């Protein structure tokens, strides 16, 4: 006779394969009650932004279908997770609650209180992993503290065997005698009410099956050239798996295992350069979560605490132009328009747009991070924080503040033919490649031939690059001088 049901609590692990909590839930043949709880209050300021809510809707739809194919239902509840889990346990007679860890500080705090509340009701708690390759608690430097530099961190992580994915999902799940009440996904209104998300499907296909297809396609088609093509925004040279990894439709150990298997099958051992560079990017994701768990205040405060006093200049007009893709710098504008229309932006262009925001415009990095949080379907607190603090020079392993990307040179290097700009800034599409990243240098006849009206259908630059760079360096120099005068000690680079 099967035991009482197990509640299988989905969070950011919206998959059935390589799911430790699912494996625990089906142990000994017991019935399984899958549940997802939209607990926005628990996540506070970092509840999913508008774009990632769109992805979440699609991922929950896909998970519902995967469960239905196995004879199960996904029970949806909205509100306090602890209250709903206790209520569901009482409704179903559940004897156990199973979930997988979410690697962020708020979720960890929730888990501690939840374990105690469930245990007080005599419920067994089974917690799995899979979101990371290594437990952040197990990765320490020689002094016993957390790493703050990527290279030694990743060398440590790669040492020794990595865990392989757990067994695939069972073909059927034992149903409870009676299914509890469930919300309907549509009533949650996760998708934007405006026609903002019409092009979001271009950013990827939500759901576990879509993630598996994308991974297989990337490995077969683009992985070997990843070392070079990943920096070319006009090419489909990246994996686009970031949203799938964030929502747990795919685990990093599944990615690692698939890359290793492909390398063995192709006879390229050790791995090709492209495969190794790609796995190093998986390592950066690990590093981001390592930092967030050890330094939980970093989404709002710089890791390098001295930068809290840096003289950023919050200017609404500059931020509006940046957000709207109207800065007058084509590669920046192309990236910001791609972000708004598809919910995704190429990683190289993320670095260019972020550098422009914090250095050429001297705007606070946290303001830019907040915009990305709301508009990226793959918005991930750890990765967003690491990326923006890297650009601002105030985080771990960060680019020095005086390293300032030139958006014109970056555009000419990584979008040499202007294909990316032509796609997202169509008003410049007829300019020749030598001018498309610097239209203000075109002769009047060249602009007329291309149908471009600077200051009309396309803006003139909102800041002169040389002046913006000099202003940023003056701000750095003044800040360092003031800190020295205040006796703050050695200055950061």
Helix (H, G, I), strand (E, B) or coil at 477: helix
Distance separating alpha carbons of residues 334 and 92, to the nearest angstrom: 52
Distance separating alpha carbons of residues 50 and 189, to the nearest angstrom: 11
N-terminal to C-terminal alpha carbon distance within the chain: 67
Q: How far is CA 72 from the centre of its chain?
A: 30
Q: Which of 281, 306, 419, 446 is catalytic?
A: 281
- For tokens 């949806």, the residue is 76
Q: Phi and psi of 9, rounded to 5°?
A: -90, 110
CB 102 within 8 A of CB 12: yes
312 is catalytic: yes
Give me the residues paired with residue 125 across strands. 97
The rounded radius of gyration (Å) of the Cα atoms in the chain is 24
Sign of torsion, CA 11 12 16 20? Answer: negative
Q: Which of 306, 347, 419, 427 is catalytic?
A: 347
281 is catalytic: yes
Q: Phi and psi of 73, rounded to 5°?
A: -125, 155
Distance separating alpha carbons of residues 380 and 385, to the nearest angstrom: 8
141 is catalytic: no
CB 303 within 8 A of CB 389: yes
Say how many C-beta atoms besides its own lie within 10 A of residue 210's C-beta: 18
Q: In the Cβ-directed half-sphere of 192, how many Cα atoms lie within 13 Å?
A: 19
Q: Which of 365, 371, 390, 424 is catalytic?
A: 365
- The string of DSSP letters for 288-313 reads HHHHHHHSTTTTTS-SSGGGGG----
365 is catalytic: yes
Closest CA to 343 of 247, 200, 244, 246: 200
Say how many C-beta atoms besides its own lie within 10 A of residue 417's C-beta: 13
Burial string for 436-448 (b: 16+ CB within 10 Å, else e) reads bbbbeebeeebbe
188 is catalytic: no
Kindly give the interhelix angle for 365-375 and 347-355, rounded to the nearest 10 degrees. Answer: 150
Closest CA to 156 of 170, 173, 144: 144
Q: Which of 388, 390, 424, 479 is catalytic?
A: 388
CB 300 within 8 A of CB 375: no
Q: Which of 284, 306, 427, 446 is catalytic?
A: 284
**Residues tagged active-site:** 281, 284, 312, 347, 365, 388
């Amino acid at each position: 006779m099967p035991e009482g049901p197990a509640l299988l609590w989905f969070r950011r692990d919206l998959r059935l394969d390589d799911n430790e909590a699912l494996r625990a839930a089906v142990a000994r043949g017991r019935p399984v009650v899958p549940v997802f709880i939209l607990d926005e209050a628990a996540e506070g300021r970092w509840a999913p932004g508008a774009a990632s809510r769109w992805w979440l809707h699609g991922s929950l739809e896909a998970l519902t279908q995967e469960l239905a194919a196995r004879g199960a239902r996904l029970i949806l509840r909205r509100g306090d997770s602890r209250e709903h889990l206790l209520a569901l346990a009482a409704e179903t007679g559940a004897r156990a609650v199973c979930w997988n860890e979410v690697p962020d500080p708020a979720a960890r705090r929730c888990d501690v209180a939840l374990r105690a509340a469930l245990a007080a009701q005599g419920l067994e708690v089974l917690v799995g992993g899979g979101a990371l390759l290594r437990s952040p608690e197990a990765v320490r430097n020689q002094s016993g503290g957390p790493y703050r530099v990527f290279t030694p961190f990743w060398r440590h992580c790669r040492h020794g065997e990595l865990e392989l994915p757990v067994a695939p999902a069972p073909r059927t799940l034992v149903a409870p005698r009676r299914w509890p009440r469930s919300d309907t996904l549509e009533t949650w209104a996760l998708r934007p009410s405006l026609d903002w998300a019409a092009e979001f499907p271009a950013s990827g296909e939500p759901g576990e099956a879509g993630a598996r297809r994308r991974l297989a396609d990337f490995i077969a088609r683009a992985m070997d050239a990843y070392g070079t093509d990943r920096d070319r925004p006009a090419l489909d040279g990246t994996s686009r798996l970031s949203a799938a990894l964030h929502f747990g439709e795919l685990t990093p150990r599944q990615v690692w295992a698939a890359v290793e298997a492909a390398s063995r099958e192709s006879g390229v051992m050790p791995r090709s350069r492209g495969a190794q560079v790609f796995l190093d990017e998986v390592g950066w994701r690990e590093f981001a979560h390592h930092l967030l768990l050890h330094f939980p205040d970093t989404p709002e405060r710089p890791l390098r605490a001295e930068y809290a006093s840096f003289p950023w200049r919050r200017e609404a007009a500059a931020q509006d132009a940046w957000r709207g893709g109207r800065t007058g710098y084509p590669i920046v504008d192309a990236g910001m328009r791609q972000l708004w229309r598809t919910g995704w932006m190429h990683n190289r262009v993320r670095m260019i747009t972020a550098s422009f925001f914090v250095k050429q415009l001297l705007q606070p990095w946290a303001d830019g991070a907040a915009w990305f949080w709301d508009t990226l379907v793959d918005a991930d607190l750890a990765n967003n924080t690491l990326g923006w603090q890297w650009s601002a020079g105030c985080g771990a392993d960060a680019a020095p503040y005086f390293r300032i990307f030139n958006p014109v040179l970056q555009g000419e290097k990584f979008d040499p033919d202007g294909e990316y700009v032509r796609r997202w800034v169509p008003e410049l599409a007829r300019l020749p490649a030598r001018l498309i990243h610097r239209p203000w240098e075109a002769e009047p006849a060249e602009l007329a031939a291309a149908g471009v009206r600077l200051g009309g259908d396309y803006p003139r630059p909102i800041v002169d690059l040389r002046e913006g760079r000099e202003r940023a360096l003056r701000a750095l120099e003044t800040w360092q001088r003031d800190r020295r005068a205040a006796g703050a000690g050695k200055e950061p680079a």
